[in-house]
Homo-oligomer: A and B are copies of this chain.
Amino acid sequence: MWLTGDLGVTTRLDPWGHHAIEDYEKLIVEFGITSIDKLLAQYTVDHSYFTRRVIFGHRDLDSWLNAFSRGDKTAVLTGFMPSGYPHLGTAMVYEELKYFQKKGAFIKVAIADAEAYAVRRESRSDVIQRGFDFVVHAIAWGVDPERAEFYYQTEMPSSYYRLIQMFSRKITQAEMEAIYGDLAPAKVISALTQAADILHLQLDEFGGYKYVVVPVGVDQDPHIRLARDIADRFKSELGFERPASLYHRLIRGLDGNKMSKSRPEYAIHLNEPKELLEKKVMNALTGGRATAEEQRRLGGEPWKCTIFELYTYHLVKDDKQLEEIRQECITGRILCGACKKRALVLLMELLREHQDNLRDITERRVVEKVLKKPSF
C-alpha cells in the first residue's frame, strides 16, 4: 500500500518505481528536505496528495500547521511562470491551493512575469496574457478568487522591490552561482525577485503573515533554500521568519519524461481539445508488456505507467478504487488499451467540467476584477 509506512517502506510499493524514488530519497538526504511521513503521523492532512505521498517532503510544514491551528496569521504562497499553457502539472498546484483554501488558509499567487520575460525570453505581451490565463485556469479549477490574491511581479509596489534591492546586499556571487550555475544579470534579478515573492507577505504592509508555506514542485527547492537563507540574514533587520515549503513529485509527460511546457506534445493541457486528448492518451507510455499474452501472464508495471500516474494525481480520488485499478494491472486482468480508454473517459469528464468553468469565468470577466494587467 502507498498509504502508510515510512519512505523506506513506501518505496517498494510506490507507483513510480524504485528509480524515481531513489532520486526523491536523494533529495531528502542531500538537501535536508524533511520526509512527509513523520508529519502524517501527527497531523491530519486529508488530501490524497499527502496520503499517496505525491507530496513527499517539506520544510517546517509542522511549524506552519501549528501556527495555523493556533489561529496565527498564516498564508500559502506560490507562483506560476507564464510561459507555455497550464497543464496537468500546473493543476497539481491549483489542487494544493484549493485544498489549503478549503481549510481556511489565505492564498496568494505570484505571476512570474518578470522572470518569464527575462529568463525565458518571451515577449512582454505574451507573458502578460499567459499570466492572466494561469489565473483564469486556477479559478476554473476551484480556487476561490474571493479568498485569494493574484499579482504580477512587475505590478508590485515599491516596498516589494525594496526587498529585492536589500536582498542583493546579503547574497554573494558564489552563493548565486551555487544555485544557478552559469549566471546572467537576468538570473540574478529573477532569483531575488522570487525571494521577494516568498518573503514579502511577512511585511506589515502586505498583511504581516509571518507563517508562509510555499507548495512547489521539488525542482523549485533551490529558490526555497535561497529565500530561507535570506530570511535568516534579515531576521534582525526586517523580523523575517523562515518560510515553510512542501514538495510534490513532478508529473511526467506521456512519454515518461518530465511534463513540461516546453514539450507540449507530451503534456496534457487544461484546454486540450477532445481529439488531441484521445490521441495523446492512446499513445502514452505505459507499464505494459511486449505482448498481450505476456501481460496477462506477468501483469503490467503501474510504477512505470504514465496513465496510472494520471489516475493517482488527478483521475481517482478514492484510495480503494485506485488500489483496485492497480490490482487489475499487476494481475494482468486488464490490458493497456482498455485501461487507457477508461482513463480517457475520466480525463475528458475532468477537463470538460474544467473547460465549462473556464468559459463561464471568462464570460463573466471574473479575473479582470481581481487582477490588473501591467501596462507594458
A-side interface residues toward B, CB under 8 Å?
114, 117-119, 121, 124, 153-159, 161-162, 164-169, 171-173, 176, 183-186, 188-190, 192-193, 203, 205, 237-238, 374-376
Contact = CB atoms under 8 A, between A and B. Distances in A.
Determine how many copies of this chain the complex contains: 2
A112 to B, nearest CB: 10
B157 A158 contact: yes
23 contacts: A114-B162, A117-B166, A118-B166, A118-B169, A124-B237, A154-B158, A154-B162, A156-B161, A158-B374, A159-B375, A161-B161, A164-B189, A165-B189, A169-B186, A171-B185, A172-B184, A172-B185, A173-B184, A173-B185, A183-B183, A189-B189, A189-B192, A205-B375
SS class of chain A's interface: helix, strand, loop or mixed? helix
Contacts of A374: 158-159, 162
B162 A173 contact: no
Nearest to A152: B158
Given A159-B376, A375-B205, A117 B185 contact: no
A189 B188 contact: yes
Given A176-B185, A185-B192, A188-B189, A376 B165 contact: no
A353 to B, nearest CB: 36
A157 B372 CA distance: 15
A376 B206 CA distance: 14
B237 A169 contact: no
Contacts of A117: 165-166, 169
Nearest to A151: B158
Contacts of A165: 114, 117-118, 153-154, 189-190, 193
Contacts of A173: 183-185
Given A158-B374, A171-B185, A188-B189, 7 more contacts: A117-B169, A118-B169, A154-B159, A154-B165, A155-B158, A161-B164, A189-B192
A193 to B, nearest CB: 7
Contacts of A375: 159, 205
Nearest to A374: B162
Contacts of A159: 154, 374-376
A174 B155 CA distance: 29
Nearest to A154: B162
Nearest to A173: B184
B188 A168 contact: yes
Contacts of A186: 168-169
Nearest to A189: B168
A157 B154 contact: no
Contacts of A237: 124
A238 to B, nearest CB: 7
Contacts of A205: 375
Contacts of A164: 161, 189
A371 B153 CA distance: 26
A168 B166 CA distance: 17
Across chains A and B, which 7 residue pairs bring their CB atoms closest together, nearest first? A114-B165, A154-B162, A168-B186, A118-B169, A161-B161, A168-B189, A168-B185
A222 to B, nearest CB: 15
A351 to B, nearest CB: 34
Nearest to A159: B375
